Every structure is written in structure tokens, then in C-alpha cells.
Structure 1
Amino acid sequence: MDQLQRRRAAHRDRQLAPGRVATPWLALLAGPLSFGIAAPALLLDDLARATGGGEQAAAAGVTAFGWGIALGTPLLAALLARRGVRAALTVASALVAAGTLILVLIPSVSAMVAGAAVQGLGSAGLTVTAMKLADSARQMGVVAASLAVVGATGPLTGALIADLSSWQAALALPLLAVLAVPATRRGTTAPDAAPAPFDFFGMTILAMLVTAAVLIPHRPLVAGPATVVLLPLLVAWTKVRPDGFLPAAVARNGRFLAACALAFALGAGNFALLYAAPDLLRQHAGWAGTQSGLVLLAPYLIGGICSGFLVAASVRVPRRVAVAVLLLTGAAALLLATVTTAVPLLLAAMTLGSLAAATGQGVLALHAAGVVSGSHRAEALGLFNLAYLLSVAIGPAIAVALSHPTA
């Protein structure tokens, strides 16, 4: 009995230990980011009418949110590494609130783009903080699953809230993450590194590179060459400032870069499928609006929930086997969606795409953080998520361009 009591006391101590946050709070902190990605999926027509622009103009808000989370991830990760959890949460929460206010109060394309970008910056900070505080494969799996599950329910949730209230309320859903901030602040951790002179030039190059990469689907003749020029410039700068905004120990780690590349590929395929899904279901089944959202709930919810278990179990599987399975699953999803018009097979493709992307984000995040030194873990997670989240900006743009080539 004494031994049992000691175990229970030790368990309580671990739960209350400083720096440890309960798993549900981490899920709430990270998950609502996916509302910013998925909630507008069935609302593009409504947004186009409300803002006076076309559907591609409305999709620019999603692209702006993708740009915000892509850029905000390394920016807020650097703040997290240098100033700790409290500073990152404070800045990220303020950005999410400010962006949401802009989206809700000003019904125009320019305001929607600006508000979504600011909201994305803050959402990225909350998510990368949640991943930094996840101290086990199980917690990382829950964080990844929360992003995927919210993404799965996002189109339907956005459509229902727009029907019950307004499209502004649907775009405000990422603000829900702020509810987890008070509990997460109790999990304050010390900065990973002592504050150093900030590398403004490195940050500027990275920001320009992210912007150019996000704009490639929209302005390929300008953004493509800009990306080609900025990428080697950023690599060269890591030699000048190896401890700068982009640490050389992270940027030159081949295993880390491979994990980032695979995460980007899996994410781009999944988000392209997510935004192509309403048109595919309309063409081949005659479904639209809320009905499409209900149908899409199943494949993306299955993929999201299963990913949590798969990420937790991945520590018992050889890394090469896990990577091979992720590659095969992601490729099968795209191939199946391309060659079939049968609705059950389309839904199977979406399930595979969701499963590959959500599981890949968790598994590859653990790998990316594990191949760098502990002092660079926050920056590594930030840069890894940058690679994954770039797919959020590019995937939907590809889907819209393919389905509306002349819009």
C-alpha cells in the first residue's frame, strides 16, 4: 500500500511539476490554428460576395493566413528560444486578437488579407509553443492530432457558424486558442539560449524568402526567380552569422532538412486535396455547402484521430520504415484522387492524405527536434513547422488554380 501511495504521489508531482502542461491544454493551444486553414473552405463564395471580389480574391485570405503562420513560426520560435514561454504567449495572443478584430470589423479584401496574415502570425506562435512544451511522443501525437481533427471539422464548423451567425464569426475561430493561454503560462520554461544581438538581416532574408515562396502559385514569373536568389543568399548568411536568426547548426543538418522537405510535400498534397474536395464532390456527386462539409468530416476526422495513435507508436518503428510508409501513403492519396471519379475512392484518397500529413507532422517533428542539439530545439521546431506550413499557403492556391484556371 505504501508503494502504491508513493507512486500516486510521484504521479501528482509530475503533473504539477513546473514546465509541464496538461495535454488537453496543449491540444487547445495548437488546434484552433487549423480553423484558419480549413474553416473558409466552404465559404469562398460568401467571402467573395461580402468583400466584392472573386473567388480567387477570397482565397487570397487563406493564402495570407498561410503566409502568416509560415513566417510567424520561425519568428515566434526565435522569441520562444530567447525569451521563454511567457513572452511568446503574450505576443502570439496579442497578434491573434488583433488579426481577428481586423477580420471581423472590416469587410474588404485588403482587410481580410491583412487580418488573416496577422492572425496567422499569432496562431503560429501558439502552435510552436505547444509543440515545444510537448515532452513526449504521446503529447506530440495529441498536438498533431488536434491540428488534424480541427482541420477535419473546420469546413463543416465554418459553414455551420456562417449559417447560424456570419462569415466573420467563422473567421474568428482561431481565437479559441487563447483560452488555453492562462493554463499554459503556468508551464513557463526558461529560454533555451541567453539573449543575443538580434539578427535583423537574417530575419529579413527569411521573411522575403517565405513571402516569395508563398507567392509562387500567384506570381510565378516574379516570385520564382526571387526564391532562387534569396535561398542561396540565406545559406551564405548562415556562414557569416552561424548563430544568427537561422542557426547554421540547424540549417546545415541534412537529416533535419530531409524531414522538412518530406513534411512540406505531405502537407501540400493534403491541403490541395482539402480545397479541391468541394469541387470534386460537386462534380461527381452533386453535393455542395454543408452537405459537402458533412461528407468531408469522415475522412479527415479518421485521419486526424488515427494520427495521434500512430505518432505515439512511431517510436517503436525504425525511422526509415516510418518515412517509407508516409511517402507511400501520401503518393497513393494523390494518385487515387487523380485517376478516380468514384466518390468512395475519392473519400479514401482524402483519408490517406489526411493520415499521411497529420502523422507526418508529428513523427517528423519529433525527428527534426531530435537531430539537433537541445539548445536549438525551439528554432528547429519553428523551422520545421515553417516548412510544413508553407504547404498551407501553396496547397489551397494550387487547388483553386486547377479548379478555376480562368477565374
Structure 2
Amino acid sequence: MDHLQHSAAARRGGQPASDRVATPWLALLAGPLSYGIAGPALVLDDVARAMGTGEQTAASAVTAFGWGIALGTPLLAALLARRGVRAVLSVATALMVAGTVLLVLSPNVPVLVVGAAVQALGSAGLTVTAMKLADSARRMGVVTASLAVVGSTGPLSGALVADALSWQAVLALPLLAVLAVPAARRGASPREAAPASFDPLGMALLALLVTAAVLTPHRPLVAGPATVALLLVLAARTKARPDGFPAAAVARNGRFLGACALAFALGVVNFALLYTAPELLREHAGWDGTRSGIWLLAPYLLGGFGSGFLVAASARVPHRAVAAALLAAGAAAPLLAAATTVVPLLLGAMALGSLAASTGQGVLALRAAGVVPAAHEAEALGLFNLAYLLSVAFGPAIAVMLSQ
């Protein structure tokens, strides 16, 4: 792992661009994305009442956000590879502002869904840029810990903001990330981009694949087979055009695919537990939404802050040992939550799931970027985050279905 970090820094040549952007700005650039995932957890009933619909329909905005960040991450990573940091920051900021305006002014569910998707595209661009600029385990740990910490405070922050202002203000919280854009622009070199092939057909196939995958939890009989078919078509295309998008050097790299698969599994567990937690605590402890949000701070903050230290420490541990530990923790968390009605053990399961997912995101992102050729590093980070963030669409949807 240490070798992967040093090689990633060496690829940039000379002084890494990320050294010119202070680490706290990278954390602010990435962290607010988690408000779009976790912020609505305790206010979906408010959104449903305002829109005159059911909670499951209102949750489609969260699904749309998951679709947007899953799709936006590889596409804006491709833009990052072609045009550099400053171009991505400009496009992502515009998307963030436009999406937030739609969310705040949305008169109905369709507009709400479109706004969430557009906002998520921008959030994805800012987050993948922050991860590209994080060139060491320590800095990557801070970035991924910021995502986890914001996610841990998201349900309570959302409830408090909704009480003080409105549910629309909760949906606007991801916009806080644009506060870090000026610092990132100042620190980014205007010539960071490298020549990269442009493959619109490959991007279109990937967009269809992401859409089908996101719809799979809701329409499994239709979207499931479509996902498999599109995956096979995209795999065949990478063989026919190795320099297309995604590049064969990334999409056919076994170590890269293994990192993506593990990150996705850990994310599904974490986000499913996050959305299941309020119902479990209401059932077993009789707590309302606000009290649940307060108590959930402890396990998710533990997972978020702890992951920062664990990602940094992972540089000194063999990757196979780290992967085995992550897999064991990710499997233990849902089993513990399902087997117990004791509140401290439930909270322990939440902490374990959060710690495994946020640590895995940082450790496995470094792994994914380090096992591909230097020219494909940005693309690899984008596709890796696609795999992780697809779990945002699956986790909450699974939790809502289980609670019916």
C-alpha cells in the first residue's frame, strides 16, 4: 500500500498538485455529499406530506441522488482526465446550484427527483476531484472520514434543520461543498489534464448500465436482466475497443474489480443499516426520530473518525489482511443487527458497519488507483466510486422494502 501511495504521487511529477490544496478544504469539498444520502433519513415523512404522497414515493428522491452520484462520478472523472481540475470544478458547481434550486422550489415529486439527480451529479464531481487530489493514505483517510462523519450527523442535522427551517433546507445541505471550490481552484494547476480518448458510445452504455442498476431494487424483474445484459455488452466493447471508456486496462483488471466489489458490498450494508436504524430503535427502545438521530451520532461518528486513523494505518499492513478484516466486519454488522434487540448491541452493529464502509472506501480507493496504469488513475477512481456509490441506491431501497 505504501508503494501505491508513493507511485501515485510520483505520477504527477514534481510537487503533487494536491499539496497546494490544504487537506481541510479537500474534506469540505467531499463531505457534504453525504448530506444528500443521510440528511433525508428522518424527514421523508415531511417530504411525503408536502408532496401528498407516500414515504416510499418520497424516497425516490434519495434513489435519484444515488443514481446521480453513481453516474456522475465516472463521467466527471472522465472530464477530469481530459480537461483537469478547474473544468470539473466549474461544471460541478453549476450542476450543484441548478439542482439545489430545483429541490428548493420543487412543486411535485418529478421535479424533486430531477433536482436530486442534478445536484448529485455536481456532488459527484466535487468528491471525485477531492479524492484525486488526495495523494496519500493520510489525506485519503481525511477525505473519506469527512464523508462518513457528515453522514453520521446527517439524520440529526436533517431533523434539526427541518425543525428550524424546512425540509427544503435539508435537501440544500450538499451545496455547502461549493465553499471549498475557490480554494481548490487556486491550488489546482491549469495544466493537470492529460490527453484521453473520448468515447461517447461507451459513456452512453455506462449511463444506461447505471440507470438499470439503480432501478434493480425497485423493478428487479425488468431492471435486473437489463443490468446483466448491459454489463455483458460493455464488457464486450472494452475487448473490441481497449482504449475506449471504460478502458480495458481498468475494466479488465482483476485487482481493480475486486476492490470495487468489496467496496460496493460494504456500502450496501452500511446504508441499509443507516436507514433501518431509526425503525429498529423505535421498535426496540420506543425512541422517536430526533432521539434516534441523537443516539446514532455515537456509532457513526466513531465509524467516521475511526476510519481516518485506520486508512492512514493501512499503509503498514498487507492488503490481503486489510481486505479480510473489512470483509469480516462488513458481514458481522448486519448479522448482529438482525440477531439482537439490545440497544447497545444494535448501536455496536451500526458502528461496525460504518467503520467497515468508510475505512474500505479510503483503503480500497487507494488500491483501485494504484493497480492501474498512471494514465487511467482518474478514470479508475471514478469507476471505483461508481461501484461504492451504487450502494447508496441499493442500501436505502433495501431498508425501505424490509420495513414494509
Change (3 A) 1:291 1:223: same
In 2, Cα distance between equivalents of 1:69 and 1:16: 26
Compute the displacement of 1:266 (Å).
Answer: 0.2
In 1, Cα distance between equivalents of 2:29 and 2:207: 25
User: If the length of structure 2 is used for normalisation, what is the TM-score?
Assistant: 0.95
In 2, Cα distance between equivalents of 1:18 and 1:325: 30
Q: Please say if residues 85 and 193 of structure 2, whose CA atoms lie closer than 8 Å, have aligned partners that are also in contact.
A: no
Structure-1 residue corresponding to 2:26:
26
Q: CA RMSD in A?
A: 1.3
Compute the displacement of 1:231 (Å).
Answer: 0.4
In 2, Cα distance between equivalents of 1:180 and 1:186: 10
Compute the displacement of 1:192 (Å).
Answer: 4.3
Compute the displacement of 1:240 (Å).
Answer: 2.3
Is 1:102 the equivalent of 2:102? yes
Compute the displacement of 1:195 (Å).
Answer: 4.6
In 2, Cα distance between equivalents of 1:251 and 1:157: 38
Structure-2 residue corresponding to 1:161:
161
Structure-1 residue corresponding to 2:228:
228
Structure-2 residue corresponding to 1:279:
279
In 2, Cα distance between equivalents of 1:177 and 1:72: 16
Compute the displacement of 1:107 (Å).
Answer: 3.2
Structure-1 residue corresponding to 2:264:
264
Map 1:1-400 to 2 at 5 A: 20-189=20-189, 190-196=191-197, 198-400=198-400
Change (3 A) 1:121 1:336: same
In 2, Cα distance between equivalents of 1:154 and 1:147: 10
Compute the displacement of 1:311 (Å).
Answer: 0.2
Deviations 1:158-209 (A, max 9, x none): 000000000000100000000000000122243442153x211101110010
In 1, Cα distance between equivalents of 2:109 and 2:341: 34
The one-letter amino acid paired with 1:361 is Q
The one-letter amino acid paired with 1:194 is P
The one-letter amino acid paired with 2:64 is A
In 1, Cα distance between equivalents of 2:305 and 2:185: 27
In 1, Cα distance between equivalents of 2:24 and 2:204: 35
What is the DSSP-based 3-state SS (H/G/I as helix, E as strand, rest coil) of the residue aligned with 2:246?
coil
What's the % identity of the aligned pairs?
76
What is the DSSP-based 3-state SS (H/G/I as helix, E as strand, rest coil) of the residue aligned with 1:135?
coil
Change (3 A) 1:18 1:276: closer
In 1, Cα distance between equivalents of 2:149 and 2:336: 22
Q: Please say if residues 18 and 186 of structure 1, whose CA atoms lie closer than 8 Å, have aligned partners that are also in contact.
A: no
In 1, Cα distance between equivalents of 2:52 and 2:15: 51
In 2, Cα distance between equivalents of 1:357 and 1:18: 24
Structure 1 alignment gaps of length 5 or more: 1-13
The one-letter amino acid paired with 1:179 is L
Compute the displacement of 1:244 (Å).
Answer: 1.4
Aligned residues: 390
Change (3 A) 1:16 1:353: closer
Structure 2 alignment gaps of length 5 or more: 1-13
Compute the displacement of 1:350 (Å).
Answer: 0.2
What is the DSSP-based 3-state SS (H/G/I as helix, E as strand, rest coil) of the residue aligned with 1:341?
coil
The one-letter amino acid paired with 2:37 is I
